[in-house]
Structure 1
Amino acid sequence: MTAITNTFSTDQPFLSELLSAASSGSIQLPDFQRGWVWDDNRIKAIIASVSLGYPVGALMCMETGGEGVRFSPRPFEGVSISNTSPSELMLDGQQRITSLFLSLKSQFPVLTTNEKKQEIKRYYYLDIKKCFDPDIDRFDAIVSVPEEKVVTSDFGRKVDLDLSSTDKEIENEIFPLNIIFDGNKSDEWQMRFQEYYDFDKEKIKFLFRFKSEVITPFQKFKIPVIKLLKDTPKEAVCQVFENVNTGGVSLTVFELLTATFAADDFRLRQDWDKRRAVFDSTDPVLKHLDEKDFLTAVTLLSSYNKHISKGSSISCKRKDILNLTLSDYCSCADDLQQGMIRAAKFLHTQKIFDTKNLPYQTQLIPLSVICSILGNGFENSAARNKLSQWFWCGVLGELYGGANETRYALDVQNVPAWINGGSEPVTVRDAGFYPTRLLSLQTRNSAAYKGIMALLMKAGSIDLINGDPIETTTYFDQAVDIHHIFPRSYCIKQQYERRFWNSIINKAPLTSRTNRIVGGKAPSSYMASIVKNHGISSHNLHNHIETHLINPALLEVDDFTGFISDRAKKLLDLIQAAIGKSVTGRDSQEVVQEFGGHLQ
């Protein structure tokens, strides 16, 4: 058995050592970390905890210099350094250490916010008397004063506290916290305190008690630090960060790669923003494509290229994305961008125009990679037919709804090979559709539901009144949506079973205008109204209705049962044509029981 070795070490440095390391730049932050955001009260609260020797939680750092992880560093807020290479990066603890550094180490006012989220600048002090009052919470002994070190009221007309000089600090017996770790300045302040009170014994005793019970605990305060060793792999860094940094922003693979690529002076975020703008301006179907989708697809394409050249396996799991090199990214990103644009074009041919009606957002990832691999071959009719079959097998077989990385890899490897004469891909082989599934397709939450509606539009589904095809212009300009053929209110009144009348069998893509005309009327009634009021012959109306795979003769006599059976058969024929294989069980006992007969 392989020995398991730790990827970390532990230590308990003094707080003063950590703050000095932050000040010198030997400890910095990875560039993916968000900015410092703590407000005035949270700063006072952590100062109070330290002053009492209470734990403030462990920190997590990572050694730099390893081969596996290279991040672009940045100094802590308030630290002025340049061209300093850190020995460690802090993964968890930025807010705490920054707050303590700014309030206890920096000589500048702390730029923070108040309860109203308004920006304020503050210096922090300890009220010595309140530190010894057992009835006063230590939080209330922390004094936060404005930049000018004068606290006023009555719109500035009344001075409540003036700490604008050392003598005034001593007069009010309030100690400045930003000198607590500066031995020389702290000693000078204490000597000045004794001089100010003419070496009064009681005041000296009072001061020494403060030094012993408050200042010394600050100086002896230790914080536990977990240090990830420099050879810790990226996936471990990412997982550990997400486990421990529950109060911060979750570290995504995109953020981790952004920080990694920044070490080579490549701005991944800016690159993605440019590509995102291209996708947004290209097609609405790419609207919800995000940076993780893009990285997954880049990893798939890069992995496929290596598979072709080296025979390695194809994979796009989390660890594969994290191990994507800048060279891999740059060599594949442009090709993938074009593949995504081709994928959008393909979806248009399938009558899928936007994300609302895209069956699986996840399937867009392998589709884009396959389109990248096909290149100009994407335009070949035979290739397009096989791509269409694979796509609809994924949708109607409902195969892209769970964990998909393995299926991505298999399809990216097998679909291009299949198009070029290879064996059938696993998604085509696995796909199946059982007839009674039509009854459970009740809402657009299902990929199969959206897919069947797109297939209906692909098959025809012209507007009942004017006969316009539901192409891009009508789809966007005339508010096409999915509506009942036997209207909902009519079905309820007739006491038809909901599982039939609300299923996809009783639905079609119609314009909002047509749906208003249909209203809650019986089909025979609204068909007569259309002929009478909209200048269309009965013959043409029948032709328009038939493009929705509906037998108009059944509507004219309001035959709901006959309609359900007849349209179910036609929808199953449509599905068979799309997936390129038979729908089994059309004459099964279950089907006969549900529909009152077979659906052959």
Structure 2
Amino acid sequence: MDLAARVGFAFCLWGLILTTSFQTNPVSLKDLMRECHDGKLQLPDFQRGWVWDQNRIIDLLASISEGFPVGALMTLDASGEVSFAVRPVEGAPTPIKPLEAYLLDGQQRMTSLYQSTFSQVPVATQTAKKRPIKVHFYFDIRAALDPNVARSDAVIAAPEDRIIRQNFGRDVKLDLSCEEHEFEALYFPIDRIFDENRWQISAAQWMAKDPMARQEKWELINRFAQEVVNNFTSYHVPVIKLGKDTSRAAVCLVFEKVNTGGKPLDAFELVTAMYASEKFHLRDDWKARRERLINQKVLAKIEPVEFLQAVSLLYTKESRDDAISAGLEPPAISATRNSLLQVPLAAYRKWADKVEAGYVSAAKFLHSLKIFNSRDLPYQTQLVPLAAIFAELNSAWENDAVRQKLAKWYWCGVFGELYGSAVESRFALDIRDFSPWINGGAEPQTVQRSSFEEKRLRTLRSRLSAAYKGVHALLMKSGAEDFKSGQSYDQTVFFDENVDIHHIFPEAWCKNQKIEPAIYNSIVNKTPLTSATNRMLGGVAPSAYIGRLTKGNDNNPPIAADRLSAILKSHEIEEALLAADDFDGFMDMRRSRLLSLIETAMGKEAVRESILPADEEDEYYGEEEMEEAA
């Protein structure tokens, strides 16, 4: 963890300390190793595997050998309410003592130290280039005692058989395969560091066989024991011990802040470990559900935390409704990380099937809006409240009046661009407001607060934008037919014919006319077409490709003029403007028509603007486009 991260963690930890009991005590390294070995100190099962390479282990051993601090550990009393499935520190045997504490922070250090100092099994690590290796670590006694040699240079790694070879393995450079060879070479096995007395007794017996020749080495061994080994046996590690009253949210905060390397731990992994303590395998349950859900391509990117959020929305809403019925202070509806950690296993079991069914219904609903693919889904996050709403509605969503309100709510979220950030509070409002709305209550906040500005159409250029994807879907929903085949875009055509959004005035033609990319790349100049049709249009003027369509060729029969006019109208395109290659007139007309489509979908008027020259218009970026620009 770098300095900035540690400072940030210190502030978060201070907040945690103010709300939970804790102790900070120095604990001897040897006792910590024994606790890991016996199983009194274990890892919560959501902790990821050990990843330190050989060089990091060497640096750690060198630091302790000189008595330098290597950072505090953090443990959690295992006798409290928070309960996790556990596993021993990697390399430790099956536990023989009752679990006393979870190791929350310090896994890499404790695992590295346990394997290299306490276990005589080779350390299964990796090189700096990520090649897996098994090694034993040694101190070169002479180098360790030489003040001119960096201590890390005095730590060497020997292969599994303790024989270091050279010349492509043909010659033995250093044989440490038995104690006598270790004494002779003056190399101390670090996995004997806490059993050094026995090794030294054996060394004394070896020295006694030839005291005159071996006296100098014996003196170096004794000096090494005093100056290096004693630093290990007397070493104490500061341990922050969180009490048994520590909350789940506090534990999650610890992992969010201390796990700064690699993929951060999320609430799903914490909940998985908590449910595992009740013999329920959440990860397996989720894997089976995901395999079923991703059969719908629009759900291909569903995440486990999102599924838990939908469960939490329904569980907390039920708790709120029960409290209101009982005349009690109602708790909040929530899908925050903290609320996910509070969902009991019984609640997950109750709601998980309903949420899964809600996602399936959500996929059907999205298909009806012509959203077939996860890539074209405006907001992945909006699936969470959508699935929860469907889980509550059950089959009632198939009622036409309910479907219309669902569509209005959905498009207001998309074109209001309301699900880009800080979404958990909006989720809660959605699940709170939707059922009363269909029963005659007020419109949901998402509908009330959404708005769309006309000028936004001119700046929708990125397919990362939710509103950009929304226009693409709306055109297909409104009946757009392919220029060449005349087919409407149902699910089969969409995938079989590779439908995507393409330029109407081709990019090559626009460049030749010196039109700015910021203008011709607008959604106003794009429409859904099959890949074959887009290739046929090429980079020519619209008047030219209209001629191709009406005249036909050997591979494509001609399209009647009135039929082509109807097809273009289905895309909100005025044929006369294309035939005249009137780019400016086309952009003005189509912007107006797309705006009408959006207003109809949202059920409210957009914020209109005067048409300004392109070089005078205000620049506008949605969150997704800002992200892409960055």
1:227: which partner in 2? 241
Alpha-carbon distance change, 592 to 119 in structure 1, aligned in 2, over 3 angstroms: closer
Read off the aligned partner of 1:123 and give its amino acid letter.
H
Alpha-carbon distance change, 386 to 50 in structure 1, aligned in 2, over 3 angstroms: same
Aligned-pair distance for 1:474?
Answer: 1.7
1:334: which partner in 2? 353
Secondary structure in structure 2 of the residue aligned to 1:429: helix
Aligned-pair distance for 1:497?
Answer: 5.5
Counterpart Cα distance in 2 of 1:542 and 1:530: 11
1:518 aligns with 2:518: no
Alpha-carbon distance change, 396 to 206 in structure 1, aligned in 2, over 3 angstroms: closer
1:152: which partner in 2? 165
Secondary structure in structure 2 of the residue aligned to 1:160: strand
1:549: which partner in 2? 572
Secondary structure in structure 2 of the residue aligned to 1:544: helix
1:180: which partner in 2? 193
Counterpart Cα distance in 2 of 1:176 and 1:229: 38
Contact 2:508 2:539 in 1 (8 A): yes
Counterpart Cα distance in 2 of 1:116 and 1:436: 52
Counterpart Cα distance in 2 of 1:141 and 1:173: 12
Alpha-carbon distance change, 232 to 120 in structure 1, aligned in 2, over 3 angstroms: same
Alpha-carbon distance change, 584 to 29 in structure 1, aligned in 2, over 3 angstroms: closer
Bigger CA drift: 310-319 or 336-345?
A: 310-319
Counterpart Cα distance in 1 of 2:421 and 2:137: 53
Read off the aligned partner of 1:468 and give its amino acid letter.
Q
Contact 1:109 1:121 in 2 (8 A): yes
Counterpart Cα distance in 2 of 1:493 and 1:575: 32
Alpha-carbon distance change, 249 to 555 in structure 1, aligned in 2, over 3 angstroms: closer
1:23 to 37, 57, 61: 37
Contact 2:256 2:264 in 1 (8 A): yes
2:367: which partner in 1? 348
Matched ranges for 1:304-315 at <5 A: 304-311=317-324, 312=330, 313-315=332-334
Which structure 2 segments of 5+ residues have no match? 1-16, 325-329, 617-630
Alpha-carbon distance change, 594 to 248 in structure 1, aligned in 2, over 3 angstroms: closer
2:14: which partner in 1? none
1:50 to 55, 58, 64: 64
Counterpart Cα distance in 2 of 1:553 and 1:218: 86
Aligned-pair distance for 1:14?
Answer: 1.4
2:4: which partner in 1? none
* CA offset digits 1:365-415 (Å, max 9, x no partner): 111110111001121111111101110111111111221111111111111
Alpha-carbon distance change, 84 to 347 in structure 1, aligned in 2, over 3 angstroms: farther
1:394: which partner in 2? 413
TM-score, structure 1 normalization: 0.93
Alpha-carbon distance change, 498 to 246 in structure 1, aligned in 2, over 3 angstroms: closer
1:76 aligns with 2:89: yes
Alpha-carbon distance change, 83 to 429 in structure 1, aligned in 2, over 3 angstroms: farther
Aligned-pair distance for 1:499?
Answer: 4.8
1:418 aligns with 2:437: yes
2:287: which partner in 1? 273
Aligned-pair distance for 1:527?
Answer: 1.2
Contact 2:551 2:558 in 1 (8 A): yes
Counterpart Cα distance in 2 of 1:119 and 1:489: 52
1:100: which partner in 2? 113
Alpha-carbon distance change, 130 to 183 in structure 1, aligned in 2, over 3 angstroms: closer
Contact 1:253 1:318 in 2 (8 A): yes
Counterpart Cα distance in 2 of 1:11 and 1:191: 37
Over the residues paired in the alignment, what is the CA RMSD in angstroms?
Answer: 2.3
Counterpart Cα distance in 1 of 2:88 and 2:182: 32
Contact 1:197 1:203 in 2 (8 A): no
Aligned-pair distance for 1:530?
Answer: 0.9
2:590: which partner in 1? 567
Alpha-carbon distance change, 489 to 119 in structure 1, aligned in 2, over 3 angstroms: closer
* CA offset digits 1:13-66 (Å, max 9, x no partner): 111111111111111111111222333333222222211112222212111111
* CA offset digits 1:147-174 (Å, max 9, x no partner): 3333333455433222233222222222
Bigger CA drift: 408-417 or 36-45?
A: 36-45
Alpha-carbon distance change, 463 to 9 in structure 1, aligned in 2, over 3 angstroms: same
Bigger CA drift: 308-317 or 12-21?
A: 308-317
Alpha-carbon distance change, 490 to 222 in structure 1, aligned in 2, over 3 angstroms: same
1:447 aligns with 2:447: no
Bigger CA drift: 114-123 or 370-379?
A: 114-123
Aligned-pair distance for 1:495?
Answer: 4.1
Alpha-carbon distance change, 507 to 155 in structure 1, aligned in 2, over 3 angstroms: closer
2:54: which partner in 1? 40
Secondary structure in structure 2 of the residue aligned to 1:223: strand
* CA offset digits 1:492-525 (Å, max 9, x no partner): 4334465543322222111222222322333222
Read off the aligned partner of 1:571 and give its amino acid letter.
L
Aligned-pair distance for 1:491?
Answer: 3.1
Secondary structure in structure 2 of the residue aligned to 1:180: helix
Counterpart Cα distance in 1 of 2:509 and 2:399: 48
1:292 to 294, 302, 305: 305
Aligned-pair distance for 1:573?
Answer: 1.8
Read off the aligned partner of 1:182 and give its amino acid letter.
D
Contact 1:126 1:177 in 2 (8 A): yes
Contact 1:34 1:249 in 2 (8 A): no
Counterpart Cα distance in 2 of 1:361 and 1:295: 14
Contact 1:59 1:226 in 2 (8 A): yes
* CA offset digits 1:462-486 (Å, max 9, x no partner): 0122211111122112222212222
Contact 2:22 2:241 in 1 (8 A): yes
Aligned-pair distance for 1:288?
Answer: 0.8
1:540 aligns with 2:553: no
1:501: which partner in 2? 520
Secondary structure in structure 2 of the residue aligned to 1:468: coil
Counterpart Cα distance in 2 of 1:4 and 1:143: 44
2:102: which partner in 1? 89
Alpha-carbon distance change, 126 to 593 in structure 1, aligned in 2, over 3 angstroms: closer
Secondary structure in structure 2 of the residue aligned to 1:226: strand
Bigger CA drift: 472-481 or 4-13?
A: 4-13
Bigger CA drift: 510-519 or 334-343?
A: 510-519
Aligned-pair distance for 1:593?
Answer: 7.6
Read off the aligned partner of 2:408 and give its amino acid letter.
Q
2:6: which partner in 1? none
2:382 to 357, 363, 369: 363
1:427: which partner in 2? 446
* CA offset digits 1:264-307 (Å, max 9, x no partner): 111111111111111122x1100111111111111112122223
TM-score, structure 2 normalization: 0.88
Contact 2:137 2:190 in 1 (8 A): yes
Secondary structure in structure 2 of the residue aligned to 1:348: helix
Secondary structure in structure 2 of the residue aligned to 1:460: coil
Counterpart Cα distance in 2 of 1:155 and 1:434: 71
Aligned-pair distance for 1:336?
Answer: 0.2
Counterpart Cα distance in 2 of 1:319 and 1:304: 15
Counterpart Cα distance in 1 of 2:547 and 2:51: 67
Aligned-pair distance for 1:349?
Answer: 0.2
Alpha-carbon distance change, 508 to 149 in structure 1, aligned in 2, over 3 angstroms: closer
Contact 1:484 1:502 in 2 (8 A): yes
Bigger CA drift: 195-204 or 289-298?
A: 195-204
1:128 to 120, 127, 141: 141
1:576: which partner in 2? 599
**Same amino acid, percent of matched pairs:** 45
Aligned-pair distance for 1:584?
Answer: 4.2
Contact 1:22 1:79 in 2 (8 A): yes
